[in-house]
Chain A
C-alpha cells in the first residue's frame, strides 16, 4: 500500500516534463560546472611537473599547500606583491571603474532615450549596442593604434594621433588602468543601457508624476524616486560588468602588458605556463569574487522593497523637454558613438592597407593584404597572399562559423529548456539550483574555463578538437541563453500551455507549436547572443585550439603577435564585419536582438 503510493508519487513527478528537464540539466550542469571547479581545486594543491616541481623541491603530483604559501605569503623580492596583490588591486580598480563607467554612461543614455525628447534617438539606440557586438579588443586595439607613439609603451611606432595630428599622448592616457577601465566600460555600457533602459521603459510613469504633483523638484525626483527604482537593474549591471571586466583578458593584454600593468587575468595567463598551481589559485580568487557579487546582488534585489506588479496607465509617459540642451547633448552622444563604434572600423581598414606603419599617405596604400598574391617576394610579411585569397583564412572562417552556430544551437536550446523548467517549477529548490548552476559559467573567467576544460579533456580522450570547443562554448554561453529563456517563460502565463494540455497536445508539440512561436523573438535572442559572442571569442578558445589557424580569433592573435599588423587588422575587420552582418541579418529576419537576450 505504502509502496504503491511512493511509486505513484514518483511516476507523477516524472510525468511532468519540467521535472525531467530540470533533473537532466541538474545532473549535466553539476558535471559540467562543479566538476571543473573541483578539478580546479585539486590543481591548486597539486605540484605540477617542470619548473613548479623544481621550485617547490618536491616530486610532481605531491599534494601540498605550497602554491598558496608561495602566492600569498612570499616577501622575498616582493614576489607576492608583484604576482598577486598588485594585480589583485589593479583588477579591483579596473573592474570597479569600468562598472561605474558602464553604469553611468549606459544609464544616462538609457534615461535620455526613454525619458526625454532627445534627438536622433533611433540612431543612438541602434549604434549603442555596437561596442558590445564587436570584440572587446577592437576598442583596445583601436585605442592603442590611435594614440600610441614612440615615446611610450613599446616605443615602436606612431599612431594616427601622433603621426597625423602630431599630438603625443602621455603614457597614463594610452596604457594602464585608465584606458583599460574606459575601454571595458564603453564595451559593457550596452549592458547598462539595455538593463536600465528596460526598467525605465516599463517603469510606471505615475510614480514620477505622483512626486511631481507633490511639488518635488526634478532633481529630487530623479534622486529619490527614479534612481532607487532602477537600483536593481544597476546592481545587475554591476554584477555583469564587474564579472566580465575581471575576467577580460584581451583588453588588459593590449593596453596593460606593454607597460607591465598586470591584472589577475593577464597574470594568470603568464603564470599558467610555468606555475599552473598559482595560476589556478588566481582563477579561484576570481570565481570567489564573482560568487560574492552574485550573492550580494541576490540579497539586495530580494529585499522587502520589491516592486508591486499593479500596472497603471503607463502609456502616458511624459517626456522631459531638454529644450536648448537637446541638440548639443544629442550631437555629443552621436560623436562619442561614432568614435566608439565607427572610427575603429575605419582605422582598421586604414591600417590594413598601408605598407609602412605610421605613413598614411595614399602612396603608401595597397590592397595587397586583402587580395594580393606573391606577397613574400615583395613584402616581408608572412603569408604570400592577401587574406581573402588565403585558404587558411577561409578554413578558419568556416570553422569559426560552424563552431558559433553549434554553440548557439546547443546553448540556445538548452536555455529555452532551462527557462521552461525553471519557470514551471518556480520556487522549488531544484529549479533554484538549476537556475544558479546555469548562471555559474558566467562567473568563470573564460581563460580559466578553457584551461580547466583542457585538463579535464585529458581524462576523456574522445573530447578533442571541434567537440571540445563546441562543448566549452555551449556551457560558457549558457547563462545568456538561460537568462533570456527564463525571462521569456516567466512572461508567459501558465494558462497558455494548460489550454493545450487540456486538449491533449503532447509536450514537444506544445513547445514547438505554442510556446516557441509566442516568445519567438526572445528565444531567438537567446540563440543570437551565444552566436555573436562565440564568433568573436578569443580567451575561451585560445588554450584549446589544435593550431592557431583553427579559428579566426586565434589566427588574429597569432598575426598580431608576429607583428603582421596589416594582416591582423584585415582579419580583425573581417571578424567584425561578419559579426555585425550576422547580427543584422538575424535581427532583420527574425526580430531577435542582442538587447532582448541580455535584458529579457
Chain B
C-alpha cells in the first residue's frame, strides 16, 4: 500500500509562491482532502503529486519510490507514477464514446480485447452507466459525464486516486448523491484518495484527514472532527463549520487555566484544558453557534434576524457592538428586534491575534 510523502515541497511561478515549504504524510488507504479558498495552492499540490506540475524544491515519494527530488534531479513523468486523476471538468475526450473513453487507458496497458471488454463492463455496471456505452460525452448530463470520468479513472485499478474538485460542476442534489458514492467507492476500491475541494462540508463528510491550506502555507493537518473542535488558528476556525464560528474580541485577565473575559457589558469566565498562552491582555473568543443558547437565564440581546431552515434555525443576535450567531434546533421563530436572553453552554476556544491568530487555549466558557 503506497504512502505518499511530501518533504519541503515549494512551487514558485515566477515570483509568486503557490506552495510554500509543504510537509505532508498521507497514510495508505486514507481519504485526504486538500481544503482551502481558491488560489491557496491545493490544486497545485495535487498536480505536483500526480506529476502534472514540477515542484521548484523538495521531494515527493509514493510508496517506497521517490517520484520527485529536486536535489537528486529525479522527476518521474505522471504515466510512471501509477496514479489515477479525476479532473474538475471531467476531461472526457469528446470524440470518443463512453466505452472508448473507458477502454483507452487499458489499451495503453496492452490488455487483450476480451479483458478490456470485461473490465469496462464491470465499471459500466458499477457506476450505472451501461445504457450510455455508445454515446458521446456531449450527449450526457453532467452527472453521467462525472460517472464516466470516474469509470475511466478507475479502469486500470490505480492504488492512488487524485480528484480535483470533481463535484463542483454538479447541482446540489447530485453533489450530495455523488459524495455518498465516492465514500463508498473509497471503501470498495481499497485505494488512497487525495481530494481537492473548497467546500468545507465536502471535506468534513468525506475525509479521514483534512489538510487545510491558505496562501500556499499548510494551516492544519488533522482529522475532520479534531479540526472542527480544535482548530489551530483563526483561519481554520473560520473556514470550518457553517454557519461560521462566533469570534468575539475580548479583554482578558488570564491566570493559569482560568481567564476572565469581557466584551461590551458582558463578562464571562473561561476554563481551559491546559495553560492559557496569551501574549497580551486581549484575545478572540471563539464559540460555535451551537453552543450559544437562547432563552432561560442569561444576558439580554436583540434579535437581528432569524433564518429557519426546518431542522434548525439560525438566529443572529445583537449584543452591544457584536453580532452573534446561534443555532437552535427545531423551527423556532423569533420576530426581528425582539428581546431575548442568551448564554454560552459549553466549549469555546481562545485565539491570540498578537500571535498571528493562533489558538491559545481550548476549554469551556460561562457567562458571569
A, B co-complexed:
yes
24 contacts between A and B (CB under 8 A): A206-B87, A206-B91, A207-B91, A209-B78, A210-B91, A212-B77, A212-B79, A214-B105, A214-B108, A216-B105, A217-B108, A224-B104, A231-B95, A304-B139, A305-B95, A305-B136, A305-B138, A307-B94, A308-B92, A308-B94, A310-B169, A311-B89, A313-B43, A316-B53
Q: A204 touching B91 by the CB < 8 A rule?
A: yes
Q: Tell me the smallest distance from the CB of B169 to a CB of chain A, in Å.
A: 6
Task: Determine whether A312 belongs to the interface, using a CB cutoff of 8 Å to chain B.
Answer: yes
Rounded to whole angstroms, the CA-CA distance of A54 and B52 in the bound complex is 76
Contact between B85 and A213, CB atoms less than 8 A apart = yes
Among A201-226, those with CB < 8 Å from B are: 204, 206-207, 209-217, 220, 224-225
Quick one: which of A206, A209, A216, A231 contacts B104, CB cutoff 8 A?
A216
Inter-chain contacts of B139 with A (CB < 8 A): 304
Does A213 contact B79, Cβ atoms closer than 8 Å?
Answer: yes
How far does the alpha carbon of A225 sit from the alpha carbon of B107 in the complex, in Å? 14
Judge if A306 is at the interface, Cβ distance under 8 Å: yes
CA distance A229 to B87 in the complex (A): 18
Assess whether B138 is in contact with A213, with CB atoms less than 8 Å apart. Answer: no
Chain B neighbourhood of A231, CB < 8 A:
95
In the complex, what residues of A have CB within 8 A of residue B77's CB?
212
B43 cross-chain contacts in A, Cβ below 8 A: 313
- Asked if A465 is an interface residue, CB under 8 A from chain B, the answer is no
List of B residues within 8 angstroms of A229 by Cβ: 93-95
List which B89-109 residues lie within 8 A (CB) of chain A.
89-95, 104-105, 108-109
Asked, given contacts A305-B95, A312-B88, whether A216 binds B136 with beta carbons under 8 Å apart, the answer is: no
Please state if B108 and A215 are interface contacts (CB–CB under 8 Å): yes
* B93 and A214 within 8 A (CB): no
CB-CB under 8 A for A312 and B89, given A211-B104, A216-B108, A306-B138: yes
B136: chain A residues within 8 A (beta carbon): 304-305
3 nearest A-B residue pairs (beta carbon): A214-B105, A312-B89, A206-B91
Chain A residues with a Cβ under 8 A of chain B? 204, 206-207, 209-217, 220, 224-225, 228-229, 231, 304-308, 310-313, 316, 318
Let me know if A209 and B108 touch, CB within 8 A. no
Cβ of B156 < 8 Å from any Cβ of A?
A: yes
Digitize B54-97: 1 where CB-to-A-CB distance is under 8 Å, 0 elsewhere: 00000000000000000000000111000111011111111100
* Distance in angstroms between the alpha carbons of A231 and B50 in the assembled complex: 29
A228's nearest neighbour on chain B, judged by CB, is B95
Residues of B near A316 (CB, < 8 A) are 47, 52-53
Given contacts A310-B89, A316-B47, A316-B53, 9 further A-B contacts (CB under 8 A): A210-B152, A214-B108, A228-B93, A229-B94, A304-B136, A307-B94, A308-B145, A313-B43, A318-B52
Q: Which A residue sits closest to B80, measured CB to CB? A: A215
State whether the Cβ of B289 lies closer than 8 Å to any Cβ in chain A: no
User: Is the C-beta of B137 less than 8 angstroms from some C-beta in chain A?
Assistant: yes
Query: How far apart are A232's CB and chain B's nearest CB, in angstroms?
Result: 10
Note all chain A residues with C-beta closer than 8 A to B92.
308
B79 touching A207, Cβ below 8 Å = no
Q: Is the pair A206, B89 in contact by a Cβ cutoff of 8 Å?
A: yes
B79 and A216 within 8 A (CB)? yes
Selected contact of B52 from candidates A204, A209, A224, A225, CB within 8 Å: A209
Interface contact A215-B137, CB-CB below 8 Å: no
Provide the bound-state CA to CA distance between A318 and B52, in Å: 7
Q: Within B262-314, which residues are at the interface with A (CB < 8 Å)? A: none
B79 to chain A, nearest CB (A): 4
* In the bound complex, CA of A305 to CA of B95 (Å): 5
Q: Chain B residues near A312: list those with CB within 8 A.
A: 87-89, 91
A206 to B94, CA, bound (A): 12
Chain B residues in the interface with A (C-beta under 8 A): 43, 47, 50, 52-53, 77-79, 83-85, 87-95, 104-105, 108-109, 136-139, 142, 145, 152-153, 155-156, 164, 169
- Which residues from B are CB-within-8-Å of A209? 52, 78, 85, 87, 91
How distant is the Cα of A217 from the Cα of B104 in the complex, in angstroms?
12
A213 and B78 contacting across the interface, CB-CB below 8 Å:
yes
Establish whether residues A307 and B138, one from each chain, have CB atoms under 8 Å apart when the complex forms: yes
Q: Output the nearest chain A residue to B13 by Cβ-Cβ distance.
A: A316
Checking B83, B93, B94, B145 against A213 with a beta-carbon cut-off of 8 angstroms, the contacting residue is B83
Query: Which residues does chain B contribute within 8 Å of A220, judged by CB atoms?
Result: 108
B94 touches A212 (CB 8 A): no
Are A210 and B94 CB-contacts (below 8 A) given A215-B79, A313-B43?
Answer: no
C-alpha gap A224/B101 in the complex (Å) = 11
- In contact, A212 and B78 (Cβ under 8 angstroms): yes
Contact A305 B94 (CB under 8 A): yes
A224 to chain B: which residues have CB within 8 Å?
A: 104
Known: A215-B108, A316-B47, A318-B52. Contact between A210 and B95, CB under 8 A? no
A148 to B281 CA separation, bound complex (whole angstroms)? 93
Residue on B with the closest CB to A220?
Answer: B108
Query: Would A207 and B52 count as touching, CB distance under 8 A?
Result: no
Q: Please, how many angstroms separate the alpha-carbon atoms of A318 and B43 in the complex?
A: 14
For residue B78, which residues in chain A have a CB less than 8 angstroms away from its CB? 209, 212-213
In the assembled complex, the CB of A277 is this many whole angstroms from the nearest CB of chain B, namely 47
Within 8 Å CB of A206, what residues of B? 87-89, 91
- For the complex, give the distance between the alpha carbons of A543 and B50 in Å: 64
Residues of chain A lying within 8 A (CB to CB) of residue B105 = 214-216
Looking at the assembled complex, report how far the CB atom of B106 sits from the nearest CB atom of chain A, in whole angstroms: 8
> Contact at A214–B91, with CB atoms within 8 Å?
no
What CA separation (Å) do A207 and B152 show in the bound complex?
A: 12
Chain B's closest residue to A211 (CB) is: B104
Cα A206 to Cα B91 in complex, Å, equals 6
Chain A residues whose CB sits within 8 angstroms of the CB of B88 once the complex forms: 206, 312-313
The answer to whether B52 and A212 have CB atoms under 8 Å apart is: yes
The answer to whether A213 and B84 touch across the interface, beta carbons within 8 angstroms, is: yes
Name the residue of chain B whose CB is nearest to the CB of A310. B89
A428 to chain B, nearest CB (A): 22
B156 touches A306 (CB 8 A): no
Closest to B54 in A: A318
Q: Which residues of A contact B87 (CB under 8 A)?
A: 206, 209-210, 312
Contacts of A313 on B, CB cut-off 8 Å?
43, 88-89, 164
Q: Is the CB of B95 within 8 A of A308?
A: no
Bound-state Cα–Cα, A299 to B335, Å: 63
Complex Cα distance A308/B94, Å?
A: 7
Residue of B nearest to A213 (CB): B85
Q: How far is the CA of A204 from the CA of B52 in the complex (A)?
A: 14
How far is it, in angstroms, between the C-alpha of A286 and the C-alpha of B151 when the chains are bound? 50
Residues of A within 8 A of B94 (CB): 229, 305-308
Q: Return the chain B residue nearest A210 by Cβ.
A: B91
Q: Which residues of B contact A212 (CB under 8 A)?
A: 52, 77-79
Q: In the bound complex, what is the Cα–Cα distance between A311 and B142 (angstroms)?
A: 13
- CB of A223 to closest CB in B, whole Å: 12
Contacts of B52 in A (CB 8 A): 209, 212-213, 316, 318
* CB-CB nearest in chain A for B139: A304
Bound: A225/B152 CA distance, A = 15
* Complexed CA–CA distance, A212 and B81 (Å): 11
Residues of B within 8 A of A214 (CB): 79, 104-105, 108, 152, 155-156
Contact assessment for B83 and A310 in the assembled complex, using a CB-CB cutoff below 8 Å: no
Establish whether residues A318 and B53, one from each chain, have CB atoms under 8 Å apart when the complex forms: yes
A233 to B85, CA, bound (A): 28
**Whose C-beta in chain A lies nearest to the C-beta of B145?**
A308
**Residues of A close to B84: CB separation below 8 A:** 213
Q: Give CA–CA (A216, B110) in the complex, Å.
A: 11
In Å, the complex CA distance between A229 and B96 comes to 10
- Which chain B residue shows the least CB distance to A225? B93
Tell me the bound Cα distance from A211 to B105 in angstroms.
7
Using CB atoms, name the residue of chain A closest to B165: A313
Known: A212-B78, A215-B79. A310 touches B85 (CB 8 A): no
Taking the nearest CB of chain B, how far is it from the CB of A234, in angstroms? 13
* A310-B166 Cα distance, complex, nearest whole Å: 13
Closest to A312 in B: B89
How near does chain B come to A227, taking the closest CB pair, in angstroms? Answer: 10
A456 to chain B, nearest CB (A): 45
Q: Which of B78, B84, B87, B105 gathers most chain A CB within 10 Å?
A: B87
Chain A residues with CB under 8 A of B155:
214
Nearest residue, chain A, Cβ from B94: A307
